[in-house]
Amino acid sequence: MASRRSGRPRAENNHSIAEAELAAVTPSLYSRPGLWPDLVLPADARERAHGAPWTAYWALRMGTLADPGADRSLLEQAYAAFETRGDRLGALLATAAAIETFYYDETALEPLDAWIDRLDRALRRSVPPWPNAECGAEVMACGSGILLRQPGHPRLAEWAAQAPRALPHLAHGPSRIKYAAFVVQYHLWRGDFAASAVVVERCPAWTCRACARPRRCCGCRAWPRTRVSPPASSAGATRRPRRWR
């Protein structure tokens, strides 16, 4: 649980936060991204996905983009552990994170279908689907990955429509930036440049105010790395965006 005085995750004697406590404070960590630099995890956190999925999950979220394939393997294990425990939020966040890895990876997109199905199931059985708006933004940000494989998925339009109202009220951090980046790309794929401009206006500072670093702040996966061209038609849109040079 969080410290009553500071609201910060309490460190254990070994200076790492316990799994149960990490599970309890995850919504607060997303709503207060300024706490992320104070989060201390065990050195072998990524190896604990089976027994400590929250520890492994946060080790991944605080990590780099060096190996999206390895990240998906870790998230597969974490997802299975969350499902076994009946932890709906954990399963939802792990699924969204796995979908997001495809956005950063040059790999086959067919496996995305299974992850998108998992996401739909997780959202249907959780009402409300997330504990706060920032966790919701973290989940909806995976739309950037869904867009590559299923650009006509109905949730994309639903999530994009929420952005003008939601973005001004979200905590300034990686989830907000990633969510905004997804919505901008969604509208660009559809050729709706006016709607993209509205989202940009709602996020005038594309930085994380939690750490005051521009773009790829906090080691997060927040800043879009690709330039997306709208598909020629809504039918065949599974082609990958081109890389920035």
**φ, ψ of residue 142 in degrees (nearest 5):** -70, -5
Task: Please list, in sequence order, all residues whose beta carbon lies within 8 angstroms of the beta carbon of residue 98, skipping any fewer than 6 positions away.
Answer: 71, 72, 75, 76, 79, 115
Residues 230, 86: Cα–Cα separation, whole Å = 39
Model confidence over 135-182: pLDDT tens digits? Answer: 999 999 999 999 999 999 999 999 999 999 999 999 988 999 999 999
Instruction: Kindly report, residue by residue over 43-90, the tens digit of the pLDDT.
Output: 899 999 999 999 999 999 988 888 999 999 999 999 999 999 999 999
3-state secondary structure of 93: helix
158-169 pLDDT tens trace = 999 999 999 999
Q: Which is nearest to 226 in space by CA: 181, 196, 194, 195? A: 181
Residue in this structure with the two tokens 């939601």, named with its chain if needed? 166
Q: What is the pLDDT of residues 85-106, one digit of tens each?
A: 999 999 999 999 999 999 989 8
Does 231 score more than 60 pLDDT? no
pLDDT score, position 125: 84
pLDDT number for residue 212: 41
Q: Give the Å distances, CA to CA, from 123 to 81, 93, 140, 142.
A: 18, 11, 11, 13
Residue 9 or residue 54, greater confidence:
54
Residue ranges per structural domain of the chain:
19-243
d(C-alpha 162, C-alpha 168), whole Å? 11
